């Protein structure tokens, strides 16, 4: 409540008092203030709590309470699209005569997807380079029908194709920068300007709660992290804003944050180049300093010029077409295929996957699960792993990112909120099953740079599933699908 104006606080207190003894809640969503009544029901059989939220209205910056009004179908369409666009979605509006079609599209995106669509999204998430023919055989469809199905899903969900890299194999570690401004907050446009220029930054977002800003970036080592924080804080326009800056290594254990296309320029320094100067073994150079011998090419660890160029083209967001890529960079399709396979063999490229950029997500919620009792936390580890890999009937998994930070020692959960109760229910579920922790919840109000990754991953391939099978013998062993065929 400390961050809202006195006018909004005063109005909220009046609304809260008017609806006592019910619990009134003020939620901030993309700089707007919305009032809800939260009630809970408990199912004794399943031992699960269900939170029910009733929307009452919103409070304007001027301190005016606007009650919820009865809306027509046209109003609901406008509100739905406005909400999706305000929270990072990109719903393409149709003309007036096509409003009914747009309304059906919005409604379709907010419901559970069918099994065929789920299977296609999962296959593309596991192998974005899979051909239409392979997809068609897998699902018993014609190749033409699969062509139409994939293109329809690409348009509906705004699918982009992105490389999933092993950053450690490439020599980099990932970090999370958390900033709390203690005086005035910088304008979002200024923050975007500063961090979008740095190719090491994957994501920068404004959040609520204990921090005002989170930045996800990569670096070679702690020394580079120190320089990154110092240069950003002192040598950019952010130097005028006081605050507390915390940087901690981030170990992602479920999903990942995709690199922006601007990030790939960093890998140019890792490209192996042939020596441009060849000397005869007996040649002697007088009056000059002999250059050091060129680095010998290591087939297992070095990146070639072709591999680097192919990697950059894979990050363009388009579906893989080796012939087109070869034409763009001046090599044959066979050479493109060889470079692609070589990147995978070396372990630099895990897979080509997808990111759905046009989902009806209200906002992303953050749960910082601070570990205060290591023994109790470890005893509830199995339940935590099962929570992460539980199947979802939506377009994505339950969480879009899970990882560990060491300062403070926490497990960080990022979940997409489709329905208004998702964040509350997830927090209560984790609070109930995980012991020895303190949970701090937060909300992503504005993604300024980059984005999270939204895909439907096969959780049978996750480390969590592997641990549950091998250590806890909890899940039934099943034969994993080979998505490379």
Q: For 363-470, which CATH superfamily applies?
A: ACT-like. Chain A, domain 2 (3.30.70.1150)
Please check the confidence at residue 414 and state whether its pLDDT lies above 90. yes
List residues bridging with 80 in a β-sheet.
Answer: none
pLDDT higher than 70, residue 280: no
pLDDT in tens, 123-146: 999 999 999 999 999 888 999 999
- Confidence at residue 209, expressed as pLDDT on a 0 to 100 scale: 92
Q: What whole-number distance in Å separates Cα of residue 342 and Cα of residue 454?
A: 27
Q: What is the pTM of this model?
A: 0.75
**383 Cβ contact list (under 8 Å, min separation 6):** 433, 434
The answer to whether 441 and 447 have CB atoms below 8 angstroms apart is no
Choose the weakest-confidence range: 90-94, 112-116, 341-345, 414-418. 90-94
Question: Counting Cβ atoms within 10 Å, is residue 374 exposed (0-12), middle (13-18) or buried (19+)?
Answer: exposed
CA quadruple 259, 263, 266, 271: dihedral positive or negative?
positive
> Is 50 exceeded by the pLDDT of residue 108?
no
Per the listing, tokens 């209560």 go with 428
Fold classified for 262-356: Arc Repressor Mutant, subunit A (1.10.10)
Q: What is the pLDDT of residue 65?
A: 85
**Structure token pair of residue 337:** 């295929």
Contact 254, 462 (CB under 8 A): yes
What lies within 8 Å, CB to CB, of 288 at 6+ separation is none
Averaged pLDDT for residues 402-411: 93
pLDDT at residue 28 in the model: 79
State both tokens at 76: 């609901």
Instruction: Band the pLDDT of 160: cuts 50, 70, 90.
Output: very high
Predicted local distance difference test score (pLDDT) of residue 154: 96
User: pLDDT per residue over 66-91, tens digit each?
Assistant: 887 654 444 444 444 444 444 444 44
Contacts 24+ apart (CB under 8 A), 74-77: 74/99, 76/103, 77/102, 77/103, 77/106
Phi, psi angles (nearest 5°) of residue 275: -70, 135
d(CA 151, CA 107): 20
The 10s digit of each residue's pLDDT in 350-374 is 999 999 999 999 999 999 999 999 9
- Would you say residue 437 has pLDDT above 90? yes
pLDDT of residue 47: 55
On the question of pLDDT at 206 being above 90, the answer is yes
Q: Indicate the average pLDDT of the chain.
A: 85
Of 196 and 18, the one with more pLDDT: 196
Is residue 175 within 8 A of residue 221, CB to CB? The reply is no
CA pair distance 5, 2, nearest whole angstrom:
8
Instruction: Give the pLDDT confidence score for residue 410 in this predicted structure.
Output: 95
Domain boundaries, the chain: 6-106, 262-356, 363-470
Instruction: Tell me the mean pLDDT in the region 402-431.
Output: 92
Q: Is the pLDDT of residue 276 over 70?
A: no
Res 260: pLDDT:
97
Residue 150's pLDDT is 96
Count other Cβ atoms within 10 Å, centred on residue 269: 7
Say yes or no to pLDDT of 21 above 60: yes
Q: What is the pLDDT of residue 183?
A: 84
Sequence-separated (6 or more) residues with CB below 8 Å from residue 214: 176, 177, 178, 179, 203, 204, 205, 207, 366
The 10s digit of each residue's pLDDT in 244-272 is 999 999 999 999 999 999 999 999 988 98
pLDDT in tens, 307-349: 999 999 999 999 989 999 999 999 999 999 999 999 999 999 9
């Amino acid at each position: 409540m400390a961050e809202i104006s006195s006018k909004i606080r005063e109005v909220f207190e009046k609304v809260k008092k008017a609806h006592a003894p019910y619990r009134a809640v003020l939620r901030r969503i993309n700089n707007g203030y919305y009032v809800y009544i939260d009630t809970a029901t408990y199912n004794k059989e399943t031992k699960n709590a269900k939170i029910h939220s009733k929307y009452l209205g919103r409070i304007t910056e001027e301190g005016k309470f606007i009650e919820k009004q009865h809306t027509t179908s046209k109003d609901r369409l406008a509100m739905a699209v406005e909400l999706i666009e305000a929270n990072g979605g990109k719903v393409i509006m149709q003309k007036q005569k096509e409003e009914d079609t747009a309304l059906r599209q919005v409604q379709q995106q907010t419901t559970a997807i069918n099994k065929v669509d789920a299977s296609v999204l999962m296959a593309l998430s596991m192998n974005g380079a899979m051909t239409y023919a392979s997809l068609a055989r897998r699902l018993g469809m014609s190749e033409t029908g699969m062509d139409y199905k994939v293109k329809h899903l690409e348009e509906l969900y705004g699918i982009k194709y992105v490389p999933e890299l092993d950053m450690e194999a490439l020599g980099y570690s990932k970090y999370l920068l958390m900033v709390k401004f203690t005086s005035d907050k910088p304008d979002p446009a200024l923050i975007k300007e500063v961090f979008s220029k740095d190719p090491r930054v994957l994501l920068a977002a404004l959040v609520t709660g204990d921090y005002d800003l989170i930045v996800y970036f990569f670096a070679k080592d702690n020394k580079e992290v120190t320089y990154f924080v110092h240069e950003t804080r002192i040598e950019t326009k952010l130097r005028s804003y006081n605050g507390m800056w915390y940087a901690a290594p981030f170990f992602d254990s479920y999903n990942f944050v995709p690199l922006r296309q601007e990030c790939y320029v960093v890998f140019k320094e890792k490209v192996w180049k042939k020596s441009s100067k060849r000397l005869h073994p007996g040649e002697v150079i007088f009056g000059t300093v002999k250059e050091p011998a060129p680095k010998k090419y290591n087939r297992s660890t070095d990146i070639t010029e072709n591999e680097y160029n192919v990697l950059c083209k894979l990050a363009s967001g388009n579906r893989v077409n080796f012939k087109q890529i070869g034409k763009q960079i001046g090599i044959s399709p066979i050479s493109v295929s060889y470079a692609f396979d070589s990147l995978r063999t070396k372990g630099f490229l895990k897979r080509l996957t997808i990111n759905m950029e046009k989902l009806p997500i209200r906002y992303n919620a953050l749960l910082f699960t601070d570990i205060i009792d290591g023994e109790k936390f470890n005893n509830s580890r199995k339940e935590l792993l099962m929570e992460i890999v539980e199947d979802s009937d939506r377009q994505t998994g339950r969480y879009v990112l899970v990882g560990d930070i060491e300062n403070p020692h926490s497990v960080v959960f990022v979940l997409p909120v489709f329905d208004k109760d998702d964040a509350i229910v997830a927090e209560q579920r984790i609070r109930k099953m995980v012991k020895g922790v303190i949970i701090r919840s937060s909300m992503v109000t504005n993604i300024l740079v980059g984005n999270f990754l939204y895909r439907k991953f096969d959780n049978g391939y996750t480390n969590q599933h592997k641990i549950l099978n091998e250590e806890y013998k909890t899940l039934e062993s099943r034969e994993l699908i080979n998505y490379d065929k």
